[in-house]
Amino acid sequence: MALPSQDTPEPSQDTPEPSQDTPEPSHNDEEDISFHMDIDEPLHIPTPTPDHSDLPSPFEHHPIGPGITFGRGTTFMERFDMDPQSRHQKNNIYYPFRDFDDWKLACFLLRSNLSMASINEFLKLPIIERLNLSFGSAKELRDLAEALPPTAPWKFRPVKPDPRYPLKKKLDLYF
C-alpha cells in the first residue's frame, strides 16, 4: 500500500476504502529486483558452432567446452623446499657441505674411480686434514651425498618429422 504524499489526495468521504479485492500496486522500475541463482550448477551458455567444413583446417573442433583441471600437483621447487635440509640450504647453498671448496672436493672424490679405502687413505693425509672438511671418511662422504635432494627428472618425447623432410636419425625432444 502506498504512503500518502503531496501528490496523492487524502482519502475523503467520497473515496472508497481499498478492499481486499483491490490488487496491490506493482513494483516500479527503481525498486531492487533480486533473483536466485544456484552457484552449484554449471552455467550452460549455448554457443553456435560456425560451419567451416568447406575450409581445410589444421585444428580439430571440440564442442565439449573449455578444459577442466583435476587438482594441483606439487612442483619440483615445492618438493625441493619440503626437504628437511632446505632451511639450511637457504643460508648455505652447498649444504650439507661447508662451502664451495668442500663441495668441489666431494664431487671429485664421488666421481672418481677410487675405492672407499683409497678415499679414506687420501682423507688421512695431513694436508687434507688441515682443510677441516665436513667429512672425514668415505662413508661420511657417501652419507652426505645421499642426503642431498634428488634432481629434477628429464623427460623426452619422440618427434615425428614432416614426411616431406625425412631425417637420417630419429629425433627426441628432451624437457
pTM: 0.44
Say what the pLDDT of residue 121 is: 96
The band of 153, judged by pLDDT with boundaries at 50, 70 and 90, is: confident
pLDDT, tens digit, 9 for 90 and up, residues 108-123: 999 999 999 999 999 9
Neighbours of 61 (CB within 10 A): 10
Please give the span between the terminal C-alpha atoms of the chain, in angstroms, as a whole number.
73
Contact 88, 95 (CB under 8 A): yes
DSSP 49: P
Q: Is 128 left (phi over 0), alpha (psi -120 to 50) or beta?
A: alpha
What is the reported pLDDT for 165? 85
Question: Can you tell me the distance from the alpha carbon of 74 to that of 86, in angstroms, rounded to the nearest whole number?
Answer: 16
Q: Which residue has the cell 468521504?
A: 13
Residue 146 reports pLDDT greater than 60: yes
The contacts of residue 154 (CB under 8 Å, 6+ apart) are 174, 175
Q: How far is CA 65 from CA 42, 59, 68, in A?
A: 12, 15, 9
For residue 156, the SS3 value is strand
Residue 112 one-letter amino acid: S
Segment 59-100, tens digit of pLDDT: 666 666 667 777 788 887 787 777 777 778 778 888 889 999
Asked if the model's pLDDT at residue 101 lies above 70, the reply is yes
Cβ contact 10:4 at 8 Å: yes
